[in-house]
Amino acid sequence: MVRVTVPIPARPYDVIVGSGVLREAATHLPPLPEARRAFVVADRELVDRSFGALATGLEAAGLDVVLLPVPSGEPAKTLQVYGTLLHQLATQEAHRDDLIVSLGGGSTGDLAGFVASTYMRGLAFVQAPTTLLAQVDAAVGGKTAVNLPEGKNLVGTFAQPRAVLADIDPLATLDERDFRSGLAEVAKYALVIDLELLEMLESDPAPVLARDANALEALVARCVRAKAATVAADELDAGSRLTLNYGHTLGHALERLDAFTGRTHGEAIATGMVFAARLAERRGMARGLVGRTSRLLSSLGLEADTALPPPEDLLASFRLDKKFQGRTRFVLLREAGDPVVVDDVDDDELRATMLEMGARA
């Protein structure tokens, strides 16, 4: 079992990574002396797999457990579902000293964190991520949000959890597509921050792909350390934390155009990273990055889909990104491990790169 501290100046918290963490939640929760109930916002498709273990751990901490199931995936991240949860909390007379716990993937965590940060001006909440994508990325860092039809994560807050319980046991039950989707975010950390991880994945990804427990515990902890350091240096996403958006500009646009029902988040980000690599090479940066990125993703079972929508549709979607400021912002790599945020990418440059990747004219 590994404990990683996210050293946010105002209130640091721990991410506990290992087997059996949910069942042992009482051991890992921070002191919450006034809490009487734990409202568990859970992906309804994952309830049977993980809720029993979590409930056992929460009850051992002296908490009464109330289950609040929500839709699976991005359909949970709507104002309608958000409003329903608020009404459920109010109807059950949730107190501001009570606890909200997210159980599921990144979408469930985004929703539950947003509910917790806004109901009664803020309740304590704990992340219990059960997907690889959520454990290595979404559950750490305090970004909470829901989507609008016009765009992804347009309504949200920065609100840090009190703890993250990253139990690797549920990772064995993920279907292959969901598991490999999480590997896209792992690849992002490898390309942007952790060159040792990149070399490890390039040389022998087999233990990770086989879901070896020791390999997964080490992998999740390594990614959490990378994100924790980045978040601590730039909690509100105004500087260096922006580099963690590598691949996400195009990725979010694809998700938006798919109406969040096509590619998984990881599949969209994989395509976004290949696009960013092509854009970097077009600018004379990072020679060979496209090939290296494609080989890495392919070895992890992520074939970057190049069936892009028409360029004008993508450009219109870029303008709805919350980070759009007159021009589309991209994170590019000068080379692996050396990211830079650029704001001077013009539409012609983007169109040419899209067509190069097979966008429909």
| Structural contact between residues 129 and 135, judged by C-beta atoms closer than 8 angstroms | yes
Question: In the prediction, which pLDDT does 360 show?
Answer: 74
User: 181: phi > 0 → left, psi -120 to 50 → alpha, else beta; which?
Assistant: alpha
Virtual torsion, Cα 161, 164, 170, 171, nearest 10 deg: 100
Sign of CA dihedral 295, 74, 207, 139: positive
> Residue 285 belongs to what H/E stretch?
none
At residue 276, the pLDDT reads 97
Q: What is the pLDDT of residue 179?
A: 97
pLDDT on residue 306: 66
Q: Helix, strand, coil shares of the chain as percentages rounded to 5?
A: 50, 20, 30
First to last CA, the chain: 51
- pLDDT for 304: 75
Which SS3 state, helix, strand or coil, does residue 238 take?
A: coil
Task: Give domain 2-173's CATH number out of 3.60.20.30, 3.40.50.9100, 3.90.550.10, 3.40.50.1970.
Answer: 3.40.50.1970
Give yes or no for a contact between 105 and 138, defined as CB atoms under 8 angstroms apart: yes
Helix axes 347-356, 311-318, angle to 10 degrees: 130
Return the amino acid letter for 32. L
Q: Domains of the chain: which residue ranges? A: 2-173, 176-356
Rg (CA), the chain: 20
Q: Give the residue among 71, 129, 73 at the shortest CA–CA distance from 268.
A: 73
Q: Is 325 exposed, middle or buried (0-12, 13-18, 19+ CB in 10 A)?
A: exposed
Q: State the CB neighbour count (10 A cutoff) for residue 59.
A: 14
Residue 24: enclosing H or E segment and its boundaries?
none
Which residues fall within 8 angstroms of residue 353, CB to CB, at 6 or more apart?
275, 278, 279, 282
pTM of the complete model:
0.95
Residues of the chain with pLDDT under 50: none
Nearest to 234 by CA among 142, 122, 318: 142
Alpha helices (runs of H) in the chain, residue ranges in sequence order: 25-28, 47-60, 79-91, 106-118, 132-133, 176-192, 195-203, 206-209, 213-233, 248-257, 265-282, 289-299, 311-318, 347-356
> Coil, strand, or helix at residue 14?
strand
One of 3.40.47.10, 3.30.310.220, 3.90.70.10, 1.20.1090.10 is the CATH number of 176-356, namely: 1.20.1090.10
Give tens-digit pLDDT for 179-237. 999 999 999 999 999 999 999 999 999 999 999 999 999 999 999 999 999 999 999 98
Quick: pLDDT tens for 181-196. Answer: 999 999 999 999 999 9
- Read off the amino acid at residue 196: E
How many Å apart are CA 212 and CA 230, to the nearest integer? Answer: 27
Place of tokens 């273990």: 53
What are the DSSP calls for 118-168, one per residue? HGGG--EEEEEE-SHHIIIIITSS-EEEEEETTEEEEEEEE---SEEEEES
